[in-house]
Amino acid sequence: MTDIAGTTKALSAIFMKELKHYTRYPGNLAFLFAIPFLFTFMLSAMGTFVGGSNAAQYFFQRTGTQNFFVYQILGSAIWIMTWVVIEDLGSALRNEQIKGTLEQNFLAPINRFLLLVGVALAHIVISALIFIGVVFATVLVLQPGSLLSLFLAMLTLILGLTPMFGIAFIFSGFVIRFKEPYAFTQIVNMIFAVLAGTYYPVSVLPSWLQIVSRIIPQTYLIEDMRLIILFNKSLVDLYGHFILLGVMALVYPALGYYFFKRFENRAKVTGDLSKF
């Protein structure tokens, strides 16, 4: 078998193994699908409680749209997707470490990057399914948009999720070295939710926090998705963000893998691969 054929087969096997595990624990998928709606309903109630009869007007003044539900669902869905990306990649390796299967994978003559990419690809599919399930259903019911904008939204999603995997690779390294995946990923996911403008425009943040938010791919992803779906913006309008996301999509995974390798090498010295 040629190197390329062998690598493709290994990648496909890792991808399929992850998907099988996801579908064989269906409760988790149902949970991920429900969460964006529940958060949006909670925020809707909170907005009405705080803003009273003027809530919708205030919302329009700050966001430029009266479509509160779609605006929040977009933020929620992307937040949950990035949560899946960052937490599931790290916890997938952690679960394998606890089960004893991580060592079995590391025994095989494959590049570690392949292992990460295979798991990541499966989670891109899962994330895309959540996105399709949550956002498209909502958008189609509440605000029928053109098929082109939905296509552009998917393109943005894939471009924006790729650098998020770079961040996830670093956390996968943390997990191998320090264990405790949730301690790291949940804090970071909450910080990202605050900084990326999940439920409000980033412009409401203090100016120094707005600068920090600009290194998080999730910020662009949420903004662009709202601009595409709620304001019918095109690829031409968003090219600046697309270039930035493209650069991040190249740099972040490379950086992530570099840190992952460093943590892995350290784990080989300390024997941490089999410790839990």
Partner 1 sequence: MPLVEVQALSKTFETKEGRLFNRVAKKVTALDGVSFTISKGEILGLLGPNGAGKTTMIKMLCTLVQPSSGDAYVNGFSIMKAPGKVRENLGVMLTGERTLYWKLTGKENLEYFAALYHMNREESAKRIEYLLDLVGLKDRADTYVENYSTGMRIRLSFAKALLHDAPVLLFDEPTLGLDPQSSRLIREMILDLRKKGHAILLTTHYMEEADLLSDRVAIIDHGKIIAMAAPSALKQSVKSSDIIEIEARNLQPEIVERLKTFTDIYDAVALFNDSAAHSGVIKIHAEKGKEVLPGILDALVRRDIGVTKVTFIEPTLEDVFIELTGRGLRD
Which stretches of the chain bind partner 1, using CB under 8 A?
A: 1, 5-7, 9-10, 12-14, 16-17, 20-21, 24-25, 99-101, 103-110, 265, 268-271, 273-274
| Nearest residue to 14 via CA among 111, 82, 142 | 111
CB 114 within 8 A of CB 10: yes
Give the nearer residue to partner 1 in terms of CB position, either 98 or 204.
98
Amino acid at the residue 255: L
Give the nearer residue to partner 1 in terms of CB position, either 81 or 267.
267
Question: 219: which residues sit within 8 A by CB, 6+ positions away?
Answer: 195, 196, 197, 202, 213
Give the nearer residue to partner 1 in terms of CB position, either 104 or 232.
104
Q: Cβ of residue 35: shortest distance to partner 1, in angstroms?
A: 23
Q: Cβ of residue 66: shortest distance to partner 1, in angstroms?
A: 46
CB 196 within 8 A of CB 77: no
Q: What does DSSP assign to residue 111?
A: -
Q: What does the block give as tokens for 102?
A: 């991580």
- Tell me how many helices (H) and strands (E) the chain has: 13, 0
Q: Cβ of residue 5: shortest distance to partner 1, in angstroms?
A: 8
Give the nearer residue to partner 1 in terms of CB position, either 18 or 223.
18
Q: Cβ of residue 131: shortest distance to partner 1, in angstroms?
A: 25
